[in-house]
Amino acid sequence: MTMNFDPRYSGRSFTSVGTRPIRPDGVDKVTGRARYGADFNMAGQLVGRVLRSPHAHAKIRKIDTSKAEKLAGVKAVITAADLPDLTDGDAAMYDILDNCMAREKAFYDGHAVAAVAAVDARTARQALKLIEVDYEVLPHVVDVDEAMKHTAPLLNDAIFTEGLDEKPVKPSNVTKRTQFGHGDIQEGFGQADFVVERSFKTEQTHQGYIEPHACVANVSSDGTADLWVCTQGHFVYRQHCAQLLGMEASKLRVTSSEIGGGFGGKTHVWAEPVALALSRKAGRPVKLVMTRDEVFRASGPTSATSIDVRIGARKDGTITAAEATLRYSCGPYAGMWAEIGAMTAFACYKLDNVKTVGYEVLVNRPKTAAYRAPSAPMAAFAVESAVDELAKEIGMDPVDFRIRNAAQEGTRSSYGPVYGPIGIGPTLEAAKNHPHMKAPLGKNQGRGMACGFWFNFGGQTCTDLNIGMDGSVSLAVGTVDVGGSRASLSLVAAEELGIDYGQVKAVVADTSSLGYNDMTDGSRGTFSSSMATISAARNAIKVLRERAAQTWDIPVDDVIWEKGHAIAKGEKYGNLAALSLKEIAAASGKTGGPIAGHSELVADGAGVSFATHICDIEVDPETGSTRVLRYTVVQDAGKAVHPTYVEGQYQGGAAQGIGWALNEEYIYGKDGRLQNPGFLDYRIPVCSDLPMIDTQILEIPNPNHPYGVRGVGETSIVPPLAAIANAVSNAVGVRMTHIPMSPPRILAAIEAEREG
């Protein structure tokens, strides 16, 4: 980190930050000029296609590619043999490799087993049909609870459960057990007057990004390579692809395209190493674009979960003990999804006695990937449903009950650290006083509310700021713009330099143009890159002051920077007129050359984030169909750099949460094959499914960022599952415990209650 940079919050007032200028990429996107993954082409490129397993679990006895290789127009055919294991004992990298191209076994319907590169799509499709694969079909398991049973088919006999007191003697589908918490659970439940105990299930969902995975790979004969790709982290893609192909990372240049949605689903390589291997073998560029069917069957969905929650409280509404057991599916490879669920489950509350246990479970489904605050929505669904039920038992208003038990500054969190200044209390107070809370409800209507938490991340970040001779500023960043960060970062640069937003242009640089940047996930884009932008701008201001001092022939310590101008301070310089950034830049050729500021840092102290959501829902008791009538998001942004984008993040997370809560799920047949791999049968919300989503931005500054910024992109998907479940439960008078709450599930719950 640059030594002169102080990341602490300074409490300054702003002129650019907090305004709502138009987005720099907006016009290109609405006119179709923006270039996404599949919009890039290279001369002489081939079309790549992947052959996928039709079985949920099968041994690959033999693959015969000879007929495909002889087909006119086919330039390369690859199998796992063309992607040998170069991972050197790195288990996580081996899993990525095995997922990109199956080795001994195909682990799920859609697992890649071979790939071709041909002169056109028709030839490529024909070639796939000519590849003969001899499978030995094995028993499979797709349900998380079934997979934990001793009788379940074993996916990987080299997996022994980690995290147990005694090392297990038998292999298992449970890869790991993790535990968090503090205090004495038994003692806590002993003090409780009321205890609620429930089990919950959530089904697997997909991020549902509109743009499928797409890339163009070009490996040259000298060993250098280019990859143009739709990604959330081109530096990470470079590291992974280089390692899997046995290349030097410096010889692979990765350029990120515009991104048509990612939400965590574009943080993993799937097709990219395959495209590079095909290009290497064919000696020509290869373009590989997934179909929607492939995206669903073979790229990373969320975990399906099964969660038990028990919470106890006194008559006065104080929670005395809380525990949860969380079982998360990972697909066929070890993950850390239940671990995150176990960390986030009770993070909103101040608890003396708390315990969470997470189990990572292997199933014959695609390798799980991140989806916007991964794992937290399911944990919050279970916990916030039980919290609502407990409030009802005690006879307390659900908001007041949460306010009474909310974590605050100085609270030891359920997952370990002690909180600094946080926004859970303020979001609850704002929700309590929101007009939405007081609005009347009609027949068959219910209101629900819920809270949510996300950690946010910082990480390695590198940024370049170059000042042109015309006074314009070019900002090169390494975090992919997944939610409008180019506009936000331009605002930050304008703020720091004291110039107009219109003078700044932010670009996402390729991996050869900038130092390493971590993946754009964990809501780190604006948080970490704005910190690096402030640091780079301050380094540029140092140069601007030096140039002004040189022009005036005075000591640099007598020059200050204010509102975009160098000013000579002190009465003795009364005759020196201020020099603008533009004037200093125009003369830069004569004063020492180009003016730039550079920053590389590890952005720590990302600042945790909390939200409270309110939802009104109407349920038709005859059909079980639901209508979301009204939805409100209250969330702490730390500081909203571009409030319109912040509101957009809140609304986007809520919209995705509404889909997950009511309709979206992976449906597998008895044969272990996915039955709904497309948007016709996997139903994400469309405009007519959603009300206008109301937002309220709170700003409790993050003490570890100069402007007080916290990440905002993820927390907004955490409360919806629970808020909607609480609303539906209140509307129908039955506690809903299985998500999505599709009409058949709601009807079944109503009927079971009638009969019960």
pLDDT digits (tens, 9 = 90+) for 664-689: 999 999 999 999 999 999 999 999 99
pLDDT digits (tens, 9 = 90+) for 15-42: 999 999 998 999 999 999 999 999 999 9
How many CB atoms are closer than 10 A to CB 48? 28
Per-residue confidence (pLDDT) for residue 1, from 0 to 100: 39
pLDDT digits (tens, 9 = 90+) for 171-181: 999 999 999 99
DSSP string, 636-698: E-SS-SSHHHHHHHHHHHHHHHHHHHHT----B-TTS-BS--STTTS----GGG--PEEEEEE
Q: Which of 386, 391, 378, 417 is nearest to 315 (CA)?
A: 391
Dihedral of alpha carbons 458, 461, 467, 468, sign: negative
Per-residue confidence (pLDDT) for residue 321, from 0 to 100: 98
The answer to whether the CB of 32 falls within 8 A of the CB of 510 is no
In the block, tokens 């279970």 appear at 382
What's the mean pLDDT in 54-59?
98
Distance of alpha carbon 329 from alpha carbon 204, whole angstroms: 9
Percentage, residues of the chain above pLDDT 70: 99
Q: pLDDT band for 756, please (50, 70, 90 cuts).
A: confident
Per-residue confidence (pLDDT) for residue 213, from 0 to 100: 98
Per-residue confidence (pLDDT) for residue 104, from 0 to 100: 97
Q: Quick one: 46-139+207-297 is in which CATH superfamily?
A: Aldehyde oxidase/xanthine dehydrogenase, a/b hammerhead (3.90.1170.50)
pLDDT digits (tens, 9 = 90+) for 379-436: 999 999 999 999 999 999 999 999 999 999 999 999 999 999 999 999 999 999 999 9
What's the mean pLDDT in 725-731?
98
pLDDT digits (tens, 9 = 90+) for 316-333: 999 999 999 999 999 999
Pick the CATH number of 305-454+605-755 from 3.30.365.10, 1.10.1200.10, 1.10.150.80, 3.40.50.300: 3.30.365.10
pLDDT digits (tens, 9 = 90+) for 555-613: 999 999 999 999 999 999 999 999 999 999 999 999 999 999 999 999 999 999 999 99
pLDDT digits (tens, 9 = 90+) for 278-312: 999 999 999 999 999 999 999 999 999 999 999 99
Between β-strands 305-313 and 286-289, what pairing exists: parallel, antiparallel or unpaired? unpaired
What's the mean pLDDT in 188-201?
98
pLDDT digits (tens, 9 = 90+) for 140-184: 999 999 999 999 999 999 999 999 999 999 999 999 999 999 999
Which sequence spans correspond to the domains of the chain? 25-34+458-603, 46-139+207-297, 305-454+605-755
Decide if 25-34+458-603 and 305-454+605-755 have a common fold: yes
Per-residue confidence (pLDDT) for residue 4, from 0 to 100: 67
Between β-strands 609-619 and 626-636, what pairing exists: parallel, antiparallel or unpaired? antiparallel
Chain-centroid distance, C-alpha 744: 30
The answer to whether the CB of 206 falls within 8 A of the CB of 265 is yes
Mean of the per-residue pLDDT values for the chain? 97
Distance of alpha carbon 517 from alpha carbon 377, whole angstroms: 27
Q: pLDDT band for 3, please (50, 70, 90 cuts).
A: very low
Q: Write the CB contacts of 413 (distance below 8 Å, at least 6 apart in sequence).
A: 347, 407, 419
pLDDT digits (tens, 9 = 90+) for 116-131: 999 999 999 999 999 9
Between β-strands 693-698 and 626-636, what pairing exists: parallel, antiparallel or unpaired? parallel
Distance of alpha carbon 48 from alpha carbon 219, whole angstroms: 14
Distance of alpha carbon 429 from alpha carbon 371, whole angstroms: 29
pLDDT digits (tens, 9 = 90+) for 513-533: 999 999 999 899 999 999 999
Q: For the domain bounded by 25-34+458-603, which CATH number is listed? A: 3.30.365.10
